[in-house]
Copies of this chain bind each other. A is one copy, B any other.
Amino acid sequence: MHPVIFNATLEEILNLVGTFAFAESGALLAVRKNYDIVGMAVLALITAIGGGVIRDLIIGAHPPVAFTNANYLWLALLATILTFFAHPLLNRLNVAILVFDAAGLAVFCISGAIKALAYGLGPLPAILLGTLTAIGGGVMRDILAQDPPAVLRSGSELYALPAALGATIIVIIAHFAVNDSLTVGLTAVFVFVLRLLALRYHWRGPRPRRASDTR
């Protein structure tokens, strides 16, 4: 495999964007659930750092970056306060939650796959870890808030697939050493747009035939 040298600044930018976006999705869901400001901060923080913590625990990066770089925590708290005061400006909470969630998904599948490659994981494990990093925070958010997880909902639109595709693209461009900022940025945009299009046009994966007896 080629040595994987991604731009460290680029990686941090992706992580900061994803942290803010996921924190917003958590804080806004907390508003919809009528939690108080402490509950908003808890849900924002867990959504924002959850996926990255899973990623770092699995590759053995101790302590996870959210516990070494306090910027991620401040950013999530900032998103909470912003949401506390400004959420009435968003006239559709659920749409806003989905858009921020899609942005987090788009950048974290990339940062997860990049870090997995940097730690020497093979292609398929890197794709899996990218996907887990992308969906981990949202899964924790939905389970804590007692919503059906976005990633597993009968009748829900493509969610894990855009993330897995984004991670796959990163693994491929790293292999061909074309992993510059432009291709990485375009991959993030691709995942983001794909998820939004899936939501807009209700794209779903094929379903197994229903068994006559589903006892």
User: Which positions in A face B, CB cutoff 8 Å?
Assistant: 30-43, 45, 53, 57-60, 62-64, 66-68, 70, 73-74, 83-85, 87-88, 90-95, 116, 119, 121-122, 124-125, 128-129, 135, 139, 143-146, 148-149, 151-156, 158-161, 204-215
Contact = CB atoms under 8 A, between A and B. Distances in A.
A2 B208 CA distance: 50
Contacts of A32: 214
Contacts of A129: 67
Report the 4 A-B pairs with minimum CB-CB distance, sorted nearest first.
Answer: A60-B62, A36-B205, A67-B125, A34-B154
Contact of A208 (B37, B64, B66, B67): B37
| Copies of this protein in the complex | 3
A83 B208 contact: yes
A23 to B, nearest CB: 13
Given A36-B204, A208-B40, A58 B53 contact: yes
30 contacts: A32-B214, A33-B154, A35-B152, A35-B154, A38-B158, A38-B159, A38-B160, A39-B154, A42-B151, A42-B152, A43-B152, A45-B128, A57-B58, A58-B63, A59-B62, A59-B63, A63-B119, A66-B128, A67-B128, A68-B125, A70-B125, A84-B208, A87-B208, A88-B212, A91-B213, A93-B211, A143-B143, A144-B152, A145-B152, A146-B148
